[in-house]
Amino acid sequence: MGKLDGKTAYITGAGNGIGRALALKLASEGANVVVNDLEADPAMAVVEEITAMGRHAIAVPGSVTEDGFAERFIGAGVEKWNAIDIIVNNAGYTWDSLIGHMTDDQFDAMMDVHVKAPFRILRAAAGFIKGAATQEAEEGREVFRKVVNISSIAGTAGNMGQANYSSAKSAVLGLTKTLAKEWGRYKVNVNCIAFGYIETRLTQATDEKKTITVDGNEVGIGIPKKVAGGFASMVPLGRPGTPEEAADGVYLFCCPESNYVSGQTLIVGGGLTG
């Protein structure tokens, strides 16, 4: 018996890194998982991993910023399992520049993926959640649902070269606190995780120039090894976190033990807070 048996979880950006680790974690606790990634292959690979565990998952690939994506994403899980129990808004990336060189496109891209996309997904889920919660209340049942939005210590403390990303991740805090107030009557716990230095493909230490293409934009990934070493030395625990450790932090807000915790931001950063 897992703590999430019978629950259905929706995770964006779940084909790699923290999202993948979280999908496997929630599945291991019994949840059905709706797996999103920008590309179909990584999303399907995670579905196959979950299926191999004897659990259940479906893939809904595509960009979270696309018009209609939110309805398609939520609709797929509702059609399959007629349930919304956990939503984790994890998808995102960085596109850095000092403010004097930052373009409108760079700023808008961060707001679209980190703020507007979660807003749209939660809006798409609102009708189902309200209806289910109303029925449960009439039946005298108290059923808790979970929303976990992903922020960053760049959003809680700022970071050089990330006026766009920091602004977006700070906005996530406001979205979280507002939804905690709006959806408390529906027994929805809405919380936020702010990550510190977590080692993923986006933050890997490398002196090679690497890029990915997101929504038609070529975006650099990786951190120069010297810089990465400096970041690691700032972490009180002495190293970056793993995707699995990051996922464990998110899980804390997905499990029943957090049923009376809402509107909170937890920094998962090995002691690094800014």
Q: Which position has the token pair 């625990």?
A: 237
Beta strands in 134-180 (DSSP E): 145-152
Count of alpha carbons within 13 angstroms of residue 27, beta-carbon side? 25
165 carries an active-site annotation? yes
**What whole-number distance in Å separates Cα of residue 129 and Cα of residue 234?**
42
Instruction: Kindly give the interhelix angle for 17-28 and 40-52, rounded to the nearest 10 degrees.
Output: 30
Most distant pair of Cα atoms in the chain: their distance:
59
**What whole-number distance in Å separates Cα of residue 190 and Cα of residue 121?**
14
**8 A C-beta contact, residue 194 and residue 151:** yes
**What whole-number distance in Å separates Cα of residue 199 and Cα of residue 158?**
19
Element (H, E) at 253: none
Tell me how long the chain is: 274
Q: Which amino acid is at 89?
A: N
**8 A C-beta contact, residue 25 and residue 2:** no
> Which one-letter DSSP state was computed for residue 239?
S
3-state secondary structure of 32: strand
Q: Which of 10, 93, 165, 186 is catalytic?
A: 165
By C-alpha distance, which of 145, 179, 75, 67 is closest to 112? 67
Cite the active site residues: 165
